[in-house]
Amino acid sequence: MSREPSSETSAAVVASREGATPMQRDAAVTIFEKGAPGRRAFDCPAPGVPERDPLELLPASLRRGEPARLPEVSEPELVRHYVRLSRRNFDLDSGFYPLGSCTMKHNPRLHERVAALPGHARLHPLQDPGRAQGALELMWGLERALGEIAGLPYVSLQPAAGSQGELAGVLLTRAYHEAQGSRRTKVLTPDSAHGTNPATVTMAGYEVVKVATNADGGVDIDDLRAKVDEQVACLMLTNPNTLGIFDPAIEQIAALVHEVGATLYYDGANLNAIMGKTRPGDMGFDIVHFNLHKSFTQPHGGGGPGAGPIAVSERIEPFLPAPVITRSETADGPRFDLDHDRPRSIGRLRGFQGNYGVFVRSYAYIRSLGAEGLREASEIAVLNANYLLARLRELCGDDLPLAFGERCMHEFVLSATPLKRETGVRTLDIAKRLLDHGFHPPTVYFPLLVDEALLIEPTETETRETLDEFAQALAAIVGEAREDPQVAQSAPYTTPVRRLDEAAAAKRPVIRQAL
């Protein structure tokens, strides 16, 4: 898979640039452009009841002027079309995907089997709680487990994504301060924060104030002290942060924030580094959101369905989204219910009870591993990251140095600035060239405070051989850059589409397909 740099390599690559691969030649054809009039994948059996003319049943105002132009294809055409599309994608099931801060770990297949059980998959969201006791018990159990992992006992599963979990957290902060009779205007975020943090703050009606990072990659305490005052509603923090560094001053940070009456919010993006080792609640955080698709193996997928549960401390609990799941003892055993009578709640954030299938998978994961297993998962995630970091420092440490610190937690940030200065090959070129080696690139150009950043998170589910191959591929790309920078600058060569014009895509996006 890895490629030794040589002048022959460059020649071969230049040659392959001339002729496109079959996949590249196969221009993007939509399902609407396939098939032929009258072709069918399926014939409905004759109905056993008298037929009625739809024109009699539908009032004229609801009828189309002409029939919709739906695809008319055979079943093999249909299957091949979607299988072909799926192969044009790079996914976790086809290769290593070290996308930093995204925790692209393997999703165990057992979870799919459990989630597909009819009792889970076919349960109607409006089912009466009395007839959905199993589902409510599972959700109640997931809440308790997440509460234990966070060290904060009160959980809502309702938010539909990490970003909505963040918004819920900041709205809870607002509700909490308003209940104290206090109006605050600002929320602090470090300059290494995820972009969603300032976006959430703005959406919740607060002003974002950035806190600087110190030389070790942690929060600059002097800058925090200068900015934290009675106008600050909350500090949003990820620990370990986006540099993959655990902030050892977290207790001091918590004390400074609590002194002015503000809340401390934990962005759970990097929870995979600390499960069973330490808990946000014990560090002094008031609110945590979880990304079930990161640490808890819900498959990452095209924007949804997702789940971003939140866990909170006692002082925040009255404001949690409604309804909440309750458990009571009866003569027949425990009974689970939905409590809508929550007068101080911030209200409902989502229809029904959230994305239930996601809860089933994450609950299956937590129960399969248990407390010991989760701790071990975090330990191996950190070990894998440090192993890969050590290999890369050995192979290309001068060209791609570590941006901060000496070691890391579950992820680390390299900077391609030295390589760019010497060869003109930049992070984007490295990322594109990695695709030719069969690897998904890491997160690039983030966090923003590192120039030419490569944010690498291998996760605990990768083998040592994979980590070695990835390190060798990066070293090969660096070696190749020294011989002929053009090779990386024109990559990729083997993917379904070549280098895209990102500026044109942003300025003149094609958002409609002509039919």
Partner 1 sequence: MADASYPDNLKYHPEHDWALIDGDVATFGVTWYAQDALGEVVFFDPPEVGTTVTAGEPYTEVESVKAVSEVVAPLSGEIVEVNAALGDAPEAINDDPYGEGWMVKVRLSDSSEVGALIDAAAYEAMLA
**Residue ranges binding partner 1 (CB under 8 A):** 195, 428, 445-446, 448, 451, 502-503, 506-507
Taking the CA of residue 471 as centre, how many other CA atoms within 13 Å lie in the half-sphere pointing to its CB? 21
- 308, 163 contact by CB (below 8 A): yes
**Helices then strands, each counted (H, E), the chain:** 18, 12
Contact 354, 245 (CB under 8 A): no
Nearest approach, Cβ of residue 476 and partner 1 (Å):
25
Q: How far is 103 from 457, CA to CA, in rounded Å?
A: 7
- At residue 174, φ and ψ (nearest 5 deg) are -60, -45
| Angstrom distances, CA of residue 442 to CA of 104, 147, 347 | 11, 31, 38
Kindly state the smallest distance separating residue 107's Cβ from partner 1, in Å: 29
Q: Is 49 exposed, middle or buried (0-12, 13-18, 19+ CB in 10 A)?
A: exposed
CA distance 489 to 290: 38
Minimum distance of partner 1 from residue 504's CB (angstroms): 9
Nearest distance in Å: CB 343, partner 1: 40
Nearer CB in complex with partner 1: 195/370: 195
* Single-letter code of the amino acid located at 364: A
DSSP-derived 3-state class of residue 120: helix
Report CA 362 to chain centroid distance, whole Å. 14
Burial class (CB in 10 A: 0-12, 13-18, 19+), 230: exposed
Instruction: Give how far Cα 271 sits from Cα of 101, 143, 274, 454, Å.
Output: 10, 16, 6, 20
Nearer to partner 1, 399 or 460 (CB): 399
- Residue 313 or 443: the one with the smaller Cβ distance to partner 1 is 443
> Least distance in Å: CB of 416 to partner 1?
12
Q: Kindly report the backbone phi and psi dihedral angles of residue 414, in degrees, each rounded to the nearest multiple of 5, phi listed first.
A: -100, 160
- CB of residue 47 to partner 1, shortest distance in Å: 55
- In angstroms, give the least distance from the CB of 111 to partner 1: 35
The least distance separating partner 1 from the CB of residue 27, rounded to whole angstroms, comes to 24
Residue 188 vs 428, nearer CB to partner 1: 428
Rounded Cα distance between 378 and 271, Å, is: 9
Between 334 and 424, CB nearer to partner 1: 424
What number of other Cβ atoms are within 10 A of residue 264's Cβ?
25
User: Which of 195, 248 has the CB closer to partner 1?
Assistant: 195
Closest distance of CB 76 from partner 1, Å:
40
Shortest distance, position 424 Cβ to partner 1, whole Å: 10
CB of 91 to partner 1, least distance (A): 23
3-class SS of residue 335: strand
Q: Select 90 or 445, whichever has its Cβ closest to partner 1.
A: 445
Backbone angles phi, psi at 121, to 5 degrees: -70, -30
DSSP string, 389-427: HHHHHHHHTTTS-BSSSSS-SS-EEEE-HHHHHHHS--H
Select 390 or 448, whichever has its Cβ closest to partner 1.
448
Q: State both tokens at 248.
A: 């050892």
Select 119 or 195, whichever has its Cβ closest to partner 1: 195
Lookup: tokens for 420:
């760019």
Strand-strand pairing, 324-330 and 310-312: unpaired
Smallest separation (angstroms) from partner 1 to the CB of 502: 4
Question: Which residue's CB is nearer to partner 1, number 381 or number 428?
Answer: 428
- To the nearest whole angstrom, how small is the minimum distance from the Cβ of residue 187 to partner 1? 18
For 219, the 3-state DSSP assignment is strand
- In one letter, which amino acid is 215? A
Rounded to whole angstroms, how far apart are CA atoms 183 and 232? 9
- Cβ-based nearer residue to partner 1, 199 or 249: 199
Walk across the sheet containing 232-237 and list its strands. 154-156, 310-312, 287-289, 263-267, 232-237, 186-190, 207-211
Q: Rounded distance, CA 314 to CA 151, Å?
A: 11
Dist CA 205 CA 202 (whole Å): 5
